Structure 1
Amino acid sequence: MIRRTFFLAGALAASSVCHATVVGFGQLGGSNSTVPKNLASRATADGNGFVVTNGATPNIVLTWDANGEQNNGNLGSNGWDIHTSNFFQQIENTTIGGGAWDNEGSTQRVGQLDFGLHTIGFAADPGAQLVLNSLDFGHTGETAGTTMWDLTLTDSVSNVAWSQSVTFTNGMAQTISPNFVGLAGEDYLLTFMRTNSTYGSDGRHAIDNLSFGQIPDLSNSVGSLVINRSGVNAGVASIRADQAFSFSEYEIRSPSGALNPDGWTSITGTNADPTDDWSIVSETAASLHEKDGPTGPNDGVSLGAGAQYNLGQAVNILPTFRRDGTTPTNWEDAAFTIYDAGGTLLAVAPEYVGSPVPWGDYNGDLVVNAQDWPLFRAGFGGNYSGMTASQAYLHGDLDGDFDSDIHDYNVFVALAGGASALLVPEPSSMALIALTGVAIFARRRLRNALVLAIVVAGVSQGSSALAQTLQGFSVVGSTPITSIPAGQLNENENAGPNQLFDDTILDESGQIVFDLFTTNYTDPILFPGGFLGQYAIGGETPGAVDSAFVFMDYGAPVTANWFAYSQRTGGNAVADKVGKFEFWFSNTDFAGVAPTGTPDAIVNLLPGDNRIADSTIRPYTLSGDHTGQYVAMRITETAASGALTSTSRIGGHEFRLLDGPSDVVLTVNRTSGELTLRNNLAGAENILMNGYAIDSPGGALTSAGFNGVGGDGSFPLGNGSGNGWELAGASNPNRLAEAFFTGQSTLTAGSGAISLGNAYNNLSGVEDLAFLWSNTNGEVYNARVEYIGVAPGIAGDYNDDGMVNAADYTVWRDNLDTNVSLPNDSSPGSVTAADYTAWSNNYGKTSPSSAVSVPEPSAVLMLVVAAGVTTRWRRTRRDQAV
């Protein structure tokens, strides 16, 4: 078959689309002329500024700035501008199209956005579907600064079908790839809205290589792409012929990344058409595309009426709805194009069959149980930023934050029925669960002291199999007098730090245990009148991480080792949430002056910690006892919060200092790299655990040395079915995890020195470990982390003289690409660029045993080193090429 690919190959490589219209804005007149309002509408052949590779297939009707007159006041016009400028070269070069259609006399041409609001309207034919592939979008280097844009694609009733936020700094450009397939007969509007800019001028942004097309009317299809949702054939896709036809090319596309290349049975790979030379065009989670080559009879694969061609498990097993059962995932988005030997597009529609699988059902049998555990465990522990939401879900991301951590594990346990389904409790435990639930509700409604007394008695007498893990919490001190530093404003008269102590329920002596983990301040049943957010700062600083101080005077010295906190409520689930708490305890009044010394206690919540996102009150450890009449607390936004917003405030609903059990302790041995777990501090309680994770944002962990608690004492080792403790399959330098899916183990008070293996990279120099453990109720606690011993060396000290300096660079350079084992190599094995990075990151550091000081590297030295690196790497690549 004939395909017009000679000058379009570069333009279409980014999206792997062969049937599309691409707009490049060339040959449309001089610079600063207006883009025709209907440019590239219904294009069936090439024209000035665009090319077409969809044969005779009718194309989309385009409207450039449907409401452009709102920008420039010229009725019926638009603000899109053809522009020629060397400053737009980076945008032009993002995707190289080439040819007269894309420029004029080798001069780049782009579509300039003259204002902060522009639109492109796409109107499909009746019954046809819009396909929006990609576009290049960028900011010129002419004006230094940063701008932010929101791109949204909305349907005819303004529902958002796709969106992406983009930030540009100093001449950046990128390819935006919606890979969107619309609904049959639906029109869409692509809106470009500038949301922020550090400079005031317009006309410094442009687009190029807008790629789009449509799938024709499928109401009279000749067949279907049948996709099985569930059952023994879950994920299997087949081409079914309702009328006889032959095909020589096809592509399955999924903007959400729902395809499964590993399970795809291609014609190319199986030689199912032995007389023709089929080849794979793309094999990704977004596109499975193959076609017949130019040699052979080129008669394709023939299917008689009623016949099917099996493509294997080409589609992943994905739920139709999210965990709530009502919110669509929009992952059933497969689009299918198939062509006969002459290149004619056949009408073959996607069709999903079988019952939708529930959230967390990874094997497609319509239930979440132990059969799904091995599939979840394979991705447990990993970080999946950069993937699509569906791909991250398949790796165990059940809470939608693009990782699979202890919080996702707890969601998985809950989906499998929770402790009541996975464990077999004693009858008294089941009665205890029911009684506790009734008591909490009754206390909120009636403050019934008798009911509380019954519950307390039940806790003390019932089985501990399903009881809350930590019981010994109590509120410290009476309600303190609160204040804030001068110049730090509250949002309004109803907000302020005093509001952090307005829930009298939490002041009930000894009863806070029934509020922890159960009280969500957004629960309309518990709080029918609603709760205002309790703020401690009056404004946002766009582009900055905000913090605020609260001073507390308890009237007399108090001692605390935990605190209770519930994050503030906001429209954005992660906006302005507190990620860092710092405490100073003193018997001397701070007198309204923020302390500058080292805090007595610091609590960091990692950006992916689910405890940031909601407004449930929980306990957080202070890692030891701290005493004072006066307490200063600084709260700081997390790195994942909405730091760029200007409509909400940092703060929380409730706060209390607590006296509670002593911590579980993770000890990190700098000398050996061994991690040990113990629960033997004074005041320890028995701990019921069913999972834990060790996180290190700086990557100081090593999964190779991690053996966990499985097989140690009361911690049974599982066999892969979840019947004991098993290591997370995706443990990595940033996270190690282990869990007991169908049970739990007791870390008894007084126990200590349970080895988790030599899982700390003691050459990394990074000391940022966080240990989070969980019980069968899904409650997550932080443990205390302490470091002992002296590291044997420092990464990058390749001549082992106790310092990282230029001499170590020479050792690295001379051994690059060899299998020599360098001293103090944090990634043992062959000498690679990663070892250079370790050297560069640690330049100037000395080992604790060395008394010699090494100066910071000078700019000249680093320039020389960089030149050496470039020369060495180029030489290596050239040698490899030869």
Structure 2
Amino acid sequence: MKHRALYLAAVLTMSGVSHATVVGFGQLGGSNAAVPKTLASRATADGNGFVVTNGTTPNIVLDWDVDGENNNGNPNSNGWDIHTSSWFVDIENQTIGGGDWDNEGSSNRVGQLDFDYHSIGFAADPGAALVLNSFDFGNTEETMDTSVWDLSLTDSADNVVWSQQVTLTNPDSDVLTVSPNFTGTLGESYTLIFAGVNDPLNGRHAIDNLSFNQIPDLSNPIGSLVINRSGPNAGIAYIQVDQALSFSDYEIRSANGALNPEGWNSIASTNGDPNDTWSEVSATTTSLREQDSANGTNDGVSLNVGGQFNLGQAFSVLPQFHLDGTTPTGWEDAGFSIYDPSGTLLALLPEYSGDPVPWGDYNGDLSIDIQDWYLFSAGLGQDYTGMTAIEAYLGGDLDGDFDSDLFDYKLFVELAGGASNLFGTTQVPEPSSIALVALGGMALLVSRRYRATLAVLVTVVAMAVATRSHAQATLQNFSVVGSTPTTSIPEGQQNESETAGPDQWFDDDILDETGQIVYDLFSTNYTDAELFPNGFKGQYAIGGETPGEVDSAVVFMDYGSPVTANWFAYAQRTGNNAVADKVGRFDFWFSNVDFAGVVPTTNPDATFNLLSTDNRISDSTIRPYTLGGSHSGQYVAVRITETDESGAVTSTSRIGGHEFRLLDGPSDVVLTVDRSTGEMTLANNLAGAENIQMNGYSIESPGGALIAENFDGVGGDASFPLGTGSGNGWEVTEGSNSSRLVESYFTANPVLNSTFAAGTGPISLGNAYQGISGHEDLVFLWTNSQGEVYNARVEYMGVAPGVAGDYNDDGIVDLADYAVWRNNLGGTNVLSNDLTPDSVAADDYATWKTNFGKQVGALGGVVAASVPEPSTVLIVFASAMPVILLRRKCKAARS
């Protein structure tokens, strides 16, 4: 069978702790209770005192003190004790297990050796071999003197196959993890022996976390679990045998989560064994297991020589190598256990067939095309923080940062060979049947696992290949303002080194000093070895950060004469580093009076935030960022503040960047938000506006101030044709929610992109802003036909109708509103300024607490006080909980 040697090595490597039984001695009776002589014997699931890691256990027979007569002359005795004592805390904590199986309510439970001779017998199945992984062993600090133990493992003929002498010293407890990592002979039984050398042995000794398993003979397997990598059957797996056999229990495993429960055709779900009743034991991305239940003839499923049993699309379609084509993903990690009706482990080996799929080939047809687009786009915009790498990849994360966003889209288009190859025509074709099936699976994935995640900016445009010519490719026109200014920093603020400092910010020659942009914005990456074969050009870095804190640096610039700018250019210094040198906030002051090295105490004239979640912070590409309007002055002070990420890594982080320049560019697109009505409008009608070929945009509110059901978008207005769901016009994504609204136009032809003409607007987007939320945190991002991402200006107008948490509607959130909440807790009365008016519950208390002290004013909510912390509030809240529970119980009973 193909690839058998490779997978034999892989299985043997994984045969240890990956799939094992671990004994921890919890839930086995009180202190000094005897360890059952058959504890964890032939375990098939977690039980008292032991757990099964990653699925089925090795099915080994255990015998605690197999030679009991060595202790007291009684072969039926057992000298192993369950012991609970604070003296055993070090042994219990040597390998933290957790859960009642191990320490039973945080009580230290171990297996104590009562005599100077103990043993544990292991009997593997015929055709399988014992694997003894490890165990913790030690004494307590009350133990007198030094104790010495001879540990050994003997086979059925009393031959010693492994041994180790352990010396435990005093006065403190002494604990170690003993790791035999021993793999035995097929079908052989072994005995683990603990023999004390001291005479007598004083004090107390114990073991914990005994880990073992068994593996079948895979050198000459009688069949295989075949997994199709690619082709029409991509992801489909089937059991194939070389000799007749019957099986009544099997499990497929993947530690990385490569399994596809939705596509698995289990015997239980397909009635694949009419004579028996099967039940699914586990159906997850890491374990697919089922077994013949008690009903029926219990003879399992029989296969003749060369027979096959199809398990359906039990595996996700995944690449064998990462984007570079050479680094293994490690995702082809299938493990397989299968048992005959007598419980014997059969030797069937996992193997993969078909050519490896390329990165981004989601349907496994060995090409990246429109069918993959339907699968990729189903997760576009999602956040996969906390998910596995496979889950993130399947959701569209191609660059490995655990989300699917604009940069993943650009990468997908590149992998497809360009948008023209991807879409072919201006009309998006209908998905094929296989893509529809896979898309349905992706919909399940999104609906089951990512309901609470946010959609981000989606755009399907033709990405211009980064050019190194002197042509201006960007649609937006920018020019550099002024020449290189004279720079300085405040007294006491240190440079990183003698060669670093604010003057380094202007040493690059990408943006020249004649007012022209030499290289295109968005296509100059300072980590590009072809552009910079000698390494980085100039770079600005100021050191002296405070360990563990987010720090700021200030630069004063003197341009010699007044300049006017409405944008600035900037590139992160080492943005490709996951944490270092991330600048997040820029504050600007403009003046015709020298700042004299003193940072102004007034509010900045302009502020721009690059959040850690913004993908533009994750590279070293130069881009323009808006100043939110035109600002003038000879002297400019800039305060740059690192992100929380960089602040935590002061050993490598420095505040810095590349190619800072003030720019003169087009006027902003403006999102206007009416606090009183919630209406949002979009306009491109300021003086200096330019025509924009817009493809998509997102409106984000970290505080959740958006109302998705009221969002109309631009589709159907002006030059924004309304789509029908096939990408032929502007469409609001289904992932839009209270934290993010997304609308885009999918097309391969930039000429057909909507032109947001200069002078257009305002266009109503609907009453999708919740003014009473008190959150004025909206961020508007839009993209043009080249995939360039810009921030629009967000402006608020009007007076909010109220503030969330003002339940008595008197204009301020105070203790009186708490009383209203308390008196209506658990009911369905509609409170004033309630963000969730369907019921009065704990979330309304959280809203009151968050907004305490806010009041309605000309500029919206204003913080007037901090949240009080009287003990009476907590007491009343606690006393109210039974009322909530009682009302819910009554409601459930009525329903």
Does TM, scored on the shorter chain, surpass 0.5?
yes
Aligned to 1:792: 801
Matched, 1:469 2:475: yes
| Correspondence for 1:660 among 661, 665, 675 | 665
Counterpart CA distance in 1 for 2:134 and 2:479 is: 58
Cα separation, partners in 2 of 1:633 and 1:104, compared to 1, 3 Å: closer
TM superposition score normalised by structure 1: 0.72
Cα separation, partners in 2 of 1:50 and 1:868, compared to 1, 3 Å: closer
Aligned to 1:171: none
Q: Which moved more, 1:774-783 or 1:676-685?
A: 774-783
Cα separation, partners in 2 of 1:624 and 1:833, compared to 1, 3 Å: same
Aligned to 1:487: 492
Checking the alignment, whether the CA contact within 8 Å between 1:541 and 1:644 is kept in structure 2 is: no
Matched, 1:859 2:870: yes
| Correspondence for 2:784 among 772, 775, 783 | 775
Query: Deviation at 1:588?
Result: 1.9
| Correspondence for 2:844 among 835, 858, 879 | 835
Cα separation, partners in 2 of 1:26 and 1:395, compared to 1, 3 Å: closer
Aligned to 1:331: 331
Cα separation, partners in 2 of 1:88 and 1:648, compared to 1, 3 Å: same
AA paired with 1:355?
Answer: D
Counterpart CA distance in 2 for 1:329 and 1:689 is: 37
Once the two structures are superposed, what CA deviation does each residue of 1:99-145 show, in whole Å capped at 9, x if it has no partner? xxx6999634599xxxxxxxxxxxxxx9999999999xxxxxxxxxx
AA paired with 2:806?
Answer: D
Query: Deviation at 1:823?
Result: 3.1
Cα separation, partners in 2 of 1:680 and 1:865, compared to 1, 3 Å: farther
Cα separation, partners in 2 of 1:818 and 1:741, compared to 1, 3 Å: same
Checking the alignment, whether the CA contact within 8 Å between 2:782 and 2:789 is kept in structure 1 is: yes
AA paired with 2:357?
Answer: V
AA paired with 1:763?
Answer: I
Counterpart CA distance in 2 for 1:209 and 1:748 is: 70
Matched, 1:352 2:352: yes
Query: Deviation at 1:657?
Result: 0.7
Report matched runs for 1:200-349 at 5 Å: 213=213, 215-349=215-349
Matched, 1:647 2:652: yes
Counterpart CA distance in 1 for 2:106 and 2:695 is: 68
Matched, 1:629 2:638: no
Report matched runs for 1:163-182 at 5 Å: none
Checking the alignment, whether the CA contact within 8 Å between 1:579 and 1:635 is kept in structure 2 is: yes
Cα separation, partners in 2 of 1:495 and 1:230, compared to 1, 3 Å: same
Checking the alignment, whether the CA contact within 8 Å between 1:536 and 1:550 is kept in structure 2 is: no
AA paired with 1:799?
Answer: N
Matched, 1:54 2:58: yes
Query: Deviation at 1:561?
Result: 0.6
Matched, 1:94 2:93: no
Checking the alignment, whether the CA contact within 8 Å between 1:419 and 1:777 is kept in structure 2 is: no
Query: Deviation at 1:623?
Result: 0.7
Aligned to 2:726: 721
Cα separation, partners in 2 of 1:719 and 1:500, compared to 1, 3 Å: same
Cα separation, partners in 2 of 1:789 and 1:860, compared to 1, 3 Å: same
Aligned to 1:107: 108
Counterpart CA distance in 1 for 2:703 and 2:345 is: 51
Aligned to 1:371: 371
AA paired with 1:393?
Answer: Y
Checking the alignment, whether the CA contact within 8 Å between 1:418 and 1:776 is kept in structure 2 is: no
Query: Deviation at 1:417?
Result: 3.6
Checking the alignment, whether the CA contact within 8 Å between 1:24 and 1:209 is kept in structure 2 is: yes
Matched, 1:496 2:479: no
Secondary structure at the residue paired with 1:553?
Answer: strand
Q: Give unpaired runs (5+ residues) of structure 2.
A: 1-16, 28-39, 63-85, 113-126, 137-182, 184-206, 427-461
AA paired with 2:878?
Answer: A
Aligned to 1:756: 765
Query: Deviation at 1:403?
Result: 2.3
Aligned to 1:177: none
Cα separation, partners in 2 of 1:233 and 1:50, compared to 1, 3 Å: closer
Cα separation, partners in 2 of 1:713 and 1:494, compared to 1, 3 Å: same
Larger Rg: 2
Checking the alignment, whether the CA contact within 8 Å between 1:238 and 1:308 is kept in structure 2 is: yes
Matched, 1:558 2:563: yes
Cα separation, partners in 2 of 1:230 and 1:519, compared to 1, 3 Å: same
Q: Which moved more, 1:363-372 or 1:208-217?
A: 208-217
Secondary structure at the residue paired with 1:506?
Answer: coil
AA paired with 1:303?
Answer: L
Q: Which moved more, 1:815-824 or 1:688-697?
A: 815-824
Counterpart CA distance in 1 for 2:819 and 2:344 is: 62
Query: Deviation at 1:388?
Result: 0.8
AA paired with 2:731?
Answer: E
| Correspondence for 1:825 among 829, 834, 839 | 834
Counterpart CA distance in 2 for 1:560 and 1:822 is: 48
Cα separation, partners in 2 of 1:725 and 1:527, compared to 1, 3 Å: same
Checking the alignment, whether the CA contact within 8 Å between 2:698 and 2:740 is kept in structure 1 is: yes
Query: Deviation at 1:565?
Result: 0.5
Counterpart CA distance in 2 for 1:629 and 1:827 is: 51
Counterpart CA distance in 2 for 1:134 and 1:651 is: 50
Counterpart CA distance in 1 for 2:551 and 2:415 is: 36
TM superposition score normalised by structure 2: 0.72
Once the two structures are superposed, what CA deviation does each residue of 1:403-438 show, in whole Å capped at 9, x if it has no partner? 233333333344444345468899xxxxxx999977
Once the two structures are superposed, what CA deviation does each residue of 1:58-109 show, in whole Å capped at 9, x if it has no partner? 9xxxxxxxxxxxxxxxxxxxxxxx97349989996832215xxx69996345
Counterpart CA distance in 1 for 2:425 and 2:280 is: 55
Counterpart CA distance in 2 for 1:746 and 1:133 is: 67
Aligned to 1:190: none
| Correspondence for 1:677 among 682, 707, 710 | 682
Aligned to 2:616: 611
Secondary structure at the residue paired with 1:841?
Answer: helix
Cα separation, partners in 2 of 1:343 and 1:568, compared to 1, 3 Å: same
Once the two structures are superposed, what CA deviation does each residue of 1:668-704 show, in whole Å capped at 9, x if it has no partner? 2222222222111110111112222222222222322
AA paired with 1:498?
Answer: D
Secondary structure at the residue paired with 1:277?
Answer: strand
Once the two structures are superposed, what CA deviation does each residue of 1:145-184 show, in whole Å capped at 9, x if it has no partner? xxxxxxxxxxxxxxxxxxxxxxxxxxxxxxxxxxxxx9xx
Aligned to 2:178: none
Matched, 1:594 2:577: no
Checking the alignment, whether the CA contact within 8 Å between 1:20 and 1:212 is kept in structure 2 is: yes
Checking the alignment, whether the CA contact within 8 Å between 1:383 and 1:403 is kept in structure 2 is: yes
Checking the alignment, whether the CA contact within 8 Å between 2:853 and 2:863 is kept in structure 1 is: no
Secondary structure at the residue paired with 1:757?
Answer: coil
Checking the alignment, whether the CA contact within 8 Å between 2:567 and 2:664 is kept in structure 1 is: yes
Cα separation, partners in 2 of 1:691 and 1:491, compared to 1, 3 Å: same
Secondary structure at the residue paired with 1:514?
Answer: coil
- How many pairs align? 716
Aligned to 1:844: 853
Counterpart CA distance in 2 for 1:105 and 1:635 is: 48
Checking the alignment, whether the CA contact within 8 Å between 1:500 and 1:655 is kept in structure 2 is: yes
Counterpart CA distance in 2 for 1:368 and 1:772 is: 28
Once the two structures are superposed, what CA deviation does each residue of 1:808-841 show, in whole Å capped at 9, x if it has no partner? 4454455555554443232343444333322332
Checking the alignment, whether the CA contact within 8 Å between 1:381 and 1:736 is kept in structure 2 is: no
Query: Deviation at 1:325?
Result: 3.1
Aligned to 1:517: 522
Counterpart CA distance in 1 for 2:232 and 2:772 is: 49
Secondary structure at the residue paired with 2:224?
Answer: strand
Counterpart CA distance in 2 for 1:842 and 1:863 is: 17
Checking the alignment, whether the CA contact within 8 Å between 2:806 and 2:848 is kept in structure 1 is: yes
